[in-house]
Amino acid sequence: MATLDPKDYRELGEEDLQGELESIQSRLSQLQFDHATRGIDNPLEIRTLRRNIGRLKTELRARELKELDESVLSKRSRVRARRARNS
């Protein structure tokens, strides 16, 4: 699968997002290895890939939260409120 534009992530299915995530992660590890051994032409591509991985994970997590039922979400909100008070 070719690397997609981050704007297109919302339109993809969950399996496609997982596939894209795996593809980008393998590309990132290959680039990091190449950068450490012989150097690469555009080292900023590493940063772009890391950010795209973050975008993909954010989209996957947002979909996961959307599927949770109300009781789990309310418990999660209470935990987050307690953490905010303690910090």
Measured N-to-C along each axis, helices 44-67 and 14-37 cross at an angle, to the nearest 10 degrees, of 160
> pTM here?
0.78
Right CATH for 6-86 from 2.60.120, 2.40.128, 1.10.10, 1.10.287: 1.10.287
Query: What pLDDT band is residue 6 in, cutting at 50, 70 and 90?
Result: confident
Q: What is the pLDDT of residues 10-56, one digit of tens each?
A: 888 999 999 999 999 999 999 999 999 999 999 999 999 999 999 99
CB 52, CB 31: distance < 8 Å: no
- pLDDT value for 1: 43
Give the residue, 7 or 1, on which the prediction is more confident: 7
Query: What pLDDT band is residue 2 in, cutting at 50, 70 and 90?
Result: low
CB 31, CB 40: distance < 8 Å: yes
Q: Letter for the amino acid at 6?
A: P
